Amino acid sequence: MHADKLVEAELVDAIEEAHLDLVDADWAPAVVTRLKQLVDQGRTPADWPQSWHWNWRNKMDRIRGLASCPTYAILCEGKVQGLMQLNDSKARCRIAEQAGLDLVYVDFVESAPWNRSEIVDSPRFKGVGSIMLAAAIETSRDLGFKGRIGLHSLPRSEPFYARSGMTDLGIDGTSENLKYFEMTPDQAAAFSK
Amino acid sequence: MKKTMTLNLTDAEMRALEQLSDKKDLTKTAVLRQALKLYQLVDVRLAQGGKIFFEDDATKEKAELMVL
């Protein structure tokens, strides 16, 4: 969505080399420019974009060929607007009512720098996170997991996952002290409505 | 795109599949898809020189899983 107007976008079910080339060309310069501004202003790393250090090419190299790690890209206006890496063999459910059952774990999800208010004053497109969350839920359903998903959230993204109806299971000391969120089939159904 | 195939299982294998299917609240197809991906993951990690351990949650004792 751009300026409250819906635009057509394409959800691609695999991050390919061409997408990584676009990310290298478009995303990195935008993040570096913002980092320089923040450093010049004397801001500490706590104020930097929370995923500034992510390198999608390295992430894709680590999972290349693994069927347990589906990936997605959102394309719009010739640009990559968002990327996501899932893992369906990494974690099990923690919520009591579904403890031990399989889920789709969201390893990484990121919107393009120009869509993020922490990097630009007027984000270009909204809805990338919601589309990716919907894709993770659909992947879960396709695998027979009934929409069960889980993830560890970077701090500034926590309100988004809470608003999306996921259960907040609090800080996970075993995972960089990030908050863990999980979705049940009922929550997934409510999100999909 | 998904492909369809016929699978021949022994009675013991079918029992194991049915037990996992019940326990995991998954269809038999879903169990087999997960098993395949886990097998591939293990194979790739071992080929990269990794090792697989089971750790006892209480004692923290580790036992290496030997994959032949």
pLDDT in tens, A114-158: 999 889 989 999 999 999 999 999 999 999 999 999 999 999 999
pTM of the model: 0.92
Closest Cβ–Cβ partner in A89, A145, A146 for B41:
A89
For A33-177, list the strands marked E by DSSP: 71-76, 79-87, 104-111, 149-153, 167-172
CA distance A144 to A66: 19
Residue among B21, B26, B48 with most chain A CBs within 10 A, to mutate: B26
Contact B41 A65 (CB under 8 A): no
Residue among A102, A139, A174 with most chain B CBs within 10 A, to mutate: A102
- Answer whether A92's CB lies under 8 Å from A180's CB: no
pLDDT at residue B66 in the model: 67
pLDDT: which is higher, A57 or A52 = A57
pLDDT at residue B62 in the model: 83
pLDDT at residue A150 in the model: 98
Contact A67 B36 (CB under 8 A): yes
Tell me the residues of A at the B interface, defined by beta carbons under 8 Å apart. Answer: 65-68, 88-89, 101-102, 143-146
Q: Using alpha carbons, select from A112, A99, A67, A61 the residue that is nearest to residue A86.
A: A67
Residue A192 — very low, low, confident or very high, per pLDDT cuts 50/70/90?
Answer: very high
pLDDT at residue A185 in the model: 98
Task: Count A/B contacts: CB-CB distance under 8 Å.
Answer: 33
The interface pTM score, or ipTM, of the predicted complex is: 0.82
State mean pLDDT over A51-75.
95
In angstroms, what separates the C-alpha of B61 from chain A's closest C-alpha? Answer: 18
State mean pLDDT over B3-20.
96
Residue with tokens 């049915």, as numbered in its chain:
B18
Residue B64 — very low, low, confident or very high, per pLDDT cuts 50/70/90?
Answer: confident
Closest Cβ–Cβ partner in A65, A68, A143 for B30:
A143
Residue B68 has pLDDT above 70, yes or no: no
Q: Which residue of A has its CA nearest to B22?
A: A101
Tell me the residues of B at the A interface, defined by beta carbons under 8 Å apart. Answer: 24-27, 29-30, 33-34, 36-38, 40-41, 44
- Give CA torsion, residues B15, B20, B25, B27, to 10 deg: -60
Q: Which helix (H) or strand (E) holds B65?
A: strand B62-65
Q: B24 contacts in A (CB within 8 Å)?
A: 101-102
Closest Cβ–Cβ partner in A68, A144, A145 for B37:
A68
Q: How far is CA B25 from CA A187, B31, B32, in A?
A: 18, 9, 13
pLDDT at residue A7 in the model: 92
In angstroms, what separates the C-alpha of B10 from chain A's closest C-alpha? Answer: 24
